[in-house]
Amino acid sequence: MSKDVKRVPPHSQEAEQYVLGCLLLDSSAFEPVQVKIDSSMFYIPAHRDIYNALQAVFLSGIPVDIVSVAEQMKKDDTFTDAGGMEYLNKLASQVVSASSAEYYASIIFDKYILRSLISLSGQVFEDAYSDSKEAKELLEYNQQELFNLSEQADTKGVKKISDLVVRRLDYFRQVSKTKEIPNCIETGFADLDKLILGFRPGDFILIAARPSMGKSTLAMNMAQNMAIRKGKNVLFLSLEMSNEQLTDRMIASEARVPNLTLQRGEADQNEWAKVAATAGIIHESRIFLDDTSSITVADIRSKCRRFKAAENLDIIFIDYLQLIGSAVKKENRQQEVTEISRQLKILAKDLKIPVVAMSQLSRASEQRADRVPQLSDLRDSGAIEQDADMVMFIHRPQELEKNATTGIVNLIVAKNRSGSTGTVQLVWQGPIVRFDSYTKRDD
């Protein structure tokens, strides 16, 4: 008969002892150690008590040594249970060099993460068996818990302003030399990029307009520019159009051949040559399409996390926000959109990439004489305006709003948390499903 053997959770008694010994001998080791760990990460209770006492002495400004730590532990009523003076002397005596404290702190941290994973897995097991939560809710919760652990493992700790100043000066010098903003993704529209300096990691960006103003086309053109001309990995989630429709539009746009001409099979030899060349370019790009129509924000979060891990995702486009379903039913749609908006902002921050969502506008803009959109026109929830780091409106002059195929369109940057606002002009070319940059010239 086999006997059940109780497994001991991952830990390193030796690493814990060595770190505490280093701190007892050299208080300067506290700086790198406390960035990596806190007392809760020690597995052995006595070690947690000793570390708490060490930290209390260190923060009080009293010289850190065996005597001062012993006195603090007596005040905390942990001295005897932790082994008393004999154990403190043992900890200090086994240290060869306090310079190794940071390395052994890393071991303590790694074991803590492993124990946390075991604990989380056990909780998943219990929750799944209890059948008290819906499957999607349980998946979303535990994915978030796993992501929190991942974020904790990636933490860099508190930074001193002097270190940050030096780093930022180096950053500005680099920008001055290259004239490029590191980690920002340019849209491919020169005037717009000059104004906003591209999309930043962690930003939640909205492209909003009334129906049939070109939201999907502008987003698609940006995705093309980023993937084809900048080599970025782009995920385009379309809740409205099929993957085939999007692909057709991209081919027409890149080849500059009217989409309707392709759909009718009326392309001539020259146009077919353009299409064939364009198809090869698009084929090599890193654009990924998903036309799942019935999708919740929880589904999007799960899908994007998996995709980022597999494909090193750079940016996400979602077309469009008001079509996203809510996994948790609220009293009204406004509350649901508020929650969706907040979750998309969290997604951008968690994944450290831009999330660009299309959004409908209410009819309020049509009631004004100039019909220029405002932030208050964002449909269904004022929280969208609050959550977004950047909001852009597509506005066509009135003469272009009725069945126009070409013309100048205003792209209004109404909100930009990290930079300038203003208006840039684009050229709308409906037949080839494309926006182009427009630079005003002196005639």
Q: Tell me the CA distances in angstroms from 43 to 39, 74, 82, 176, one per residue in order.
A: 9, 21, 13, 49
First to last CA, the chain: 95
The string of DSSP letters for 114-154 reads HHHHHHHHHHHHHHHHHT-S-HHHHHHHHHHHHHHHHHHHT
DSSP, collapsed to helix, strand or coil, labels residue 280 as: helix
415 token code pair: 């909100």
**What distance in Å separates the CA atoms of residue 238 and residue 259, rounded to the nearest whole number?**
19
Residue 204's nearest CA partner among 421, 355, 419 is 355
List the strands of the sheet with 315-319, edge to edge: 287-290, 234-238, 315-319, 355-360, 204-209, 390-395, 406-416, 422-429, 434-437
Scored b (16 or more CB within 10 A) or e, 144-171 reads ebbeeeeeeeeeeeeeeeeeeeeeeeee
The percent helix, strand, coil of the chain (3-state, each to 5) is 55, 15, 30
For residue 269, the one-letter residue type is Q
DSSP, collapsed to helix, strand or coil, labels residue 287 as: strand
Beta strands in 284-375 (DSSP E): 287-290, 315-319, 355-360
φ/ψ of 86, rounded to 5, equals: -60, -45
Cis status, amide bond into 141, omega within 30 of 0: no
Q: Are 187 and 424 in contact (CB under 8 A)?
A: no
381 token code pair: 């929830």
Q: How many CB atoms lie within 10 A of CB 390?
A: 22
The residues annotated as belonging to the active site are: 240
**What distance in Å separates the CA atoms of residue 91 and residue 16, rounded to the nearest whole number?**
10
Instruction: Give the count of alpha carbons within 13 A of 191, CB side only.
Output: 17
**What distance in Å separates the CA atoms of residue 376 and residue 409, rounded to the nearest whole number?**
21
Q: 287-290 and 406-416 as β-strands: parallel, antiparallel, unpaired?
A: unpaired
